[in-house]
Amino acid sequence: MALCWGKTVVRSDTRIPDLGVSFVTEDRFTAQGTGFLGSIGMSHDLTDRFGIGTEIGYRHFPMGDLETEAGNPWVVEYGGTHHAMELDFSGAFLLVTLSLRL
């Protein structure tokens, strides 16, 4: 079981060359939730100083809707309806590592 926390910063830079004007806006959104991670792996020493490792697994980290500090969700409109933006880091993964002992 894991407690997940995510953050995104959306920065918009709008320039109107004819007027010589530039508008920069920045919005910060966060989301949190619980999830789990399962993996299996192995490592092997190639020499006294070098090693290689591999790990494969699945993580399930859904965090729900991204919200501002005030609790307002990030909502976008497409297809004629409004949808809240969600943060989700779920999926399979493969990790390969190389190590060097100093």
pTM score, two decimals?
A: 0.60
**pLDDT tens, residue order, the chain (102 aa):** 788 888 888 888 888 888 888 888 888 999 988 999 999 999 999 999 999 999 999 999 888 888 888 888 888 888 888 888 888 889 999 999 999 999
CA distances from 32 to 13, 51, 89 (A): 28, 36, 11
> Which amino acid belongs to residue 43?
S
Residue 80 pLDDT = 86
Rounded (10°) CA dihedral 90, 33, 36, 42: 70
Domain regions of the chain by residue span? 2-100
